[in-house]
Amino acid sequence: MPQNDDVMVPRPVRDSQSEMTEIVLPNDANPLNNLLGGRLMHWIDMAGAMAAHRHSRNYVVTAAIDHLDFWVPVHVGDLVILRSSVNRVFHTSMEVGVKVVVENYIVDTSEHVSSAYLTFVAVDAGGRHLPVPAVVPETPEEQRRYDDAGRRRDLRRTELERRRRNQAR
Ligand SMILES: CC(C)(COP(=O)(O)OP(=O)(O)OC[C@H]1O[C@@H](n2cnc3c(N)ncnc32)[C@H](O)[C@@H]1OP(=O)(O)O)[C@@H](O)C(=O)NCCC(=O)NCCS
């Protein structure tokens, strides 16, 4: 898709903010009625892609998902809320953060389940990489995430190079 000037105008983080809510059903769970980690990973990917699409206004592919911790179990009947936004844009790639919270509406609790960082690459219909407009942090929290994303990118690149070297052996 040709890039015009408007497409490359920097956009605030808030333009990419997305929220997705799922209710955990038996088909999402293991025999102990706890949410499957793989199902949550799928939802994280979807929530992350929403923010990446909104920001880049293009197709995107998931290039990488960083290390994930699952802090608390999620049970059948719980509500899972996934909030995502673009933390930082590099050139054709962008880091998206997804925060996952579980709510139990019977006992009125809310707990942090996981925080994930995903890298998406913008592509056209033929799969060619496209430049992504810059993202503008407007709050101290968004600025912190922007700064942290730069540090994480350096770590990712070092680690990727190490893996590529090992693969070539
Ligand atoms: C991700 C993909 C587009 C990267 O393409 P590539 O030609 O190997 O990568 P390049 O070296 O040209 O890098 C393109 C961008 O992706 C980033 N990137 C590539 N691999 C990455 C990784 N493992 N982690 C984070 N970023 C990565 C690069 O830093 C670069 O970013 P920049 O333009 O902002 O500087 C390509 O490997 C791909 O299509 N993978 C499959 C994606 C997919 O199908 N995902 C769904 C799950 S299967």
Query: What token pair was written down for 34?
Result: 């706890």
pLDDT band at 7 (very low <50, low <70, confident <90, very high): confident
Q: Cβ distance 41 to 65 under 8 Å?
A: yes
pTM here is 0.94
Q: Is residue 140 part of a domain?
A: yes
What's 55's domain CATH number? Answer: 3.10.129.10
Q: Is residue 1 part of a domain?
A: no
Q: Measured between alpha carbons, how far is 25 from 33 in angstroms, rounded to an integer?
A: 9
Q: Is the CB of 160 under 6 A from ligand 1?
A: yes
Report the residue count for the chain.
Answer: 169
- Tell me the one-letter amino acid at 41: M
Pairwise pLDDT comparison (1 vs 12), residue with the higher score: 12
If one residue of 44, 56, 93 were mutated to test the ligand 1 pocket, choosing by the most ligand atoms within 8 A of its CB, it would be 93
Which atom of ligand 1 lies nearest, measured to the CA of 90? 34
Q: Is residue 46 part of a domain?
A: yes
Q: Is residue 3 part of a domain?
A: no
Q: Residue 150: give the domain boundaries.
A: 10-168
pLDDT band at 4 (very low <50, low <70, confident <90, very high): low
103-135 tens-digit pLDDT: 999 999 999 999 999 999 999 999 999 999 999
Q: Is the CB of 129 under 6 A from ligand 1?
A: yes
- Closest residue by Cα to atom 33, ligand 1, is 92
Instruction: Phi first, then psi: give them for residue 88, nearest 5 degrees.
Output: -165, 145
Q: Is the CB of 64 under 6 A from ligand 1?
A: yes
Q: Is residue 163 part of a domain?
A: yes
Q: Is residue 144 part of a domain?
A: yes
For the chain, how many structural domains are there in total? Answer: 1
25-47 tens-digit pLDDT: 999 999 999 999 999 999 999 99
CA 37 / ligand 1 centre spacing (Å): 24
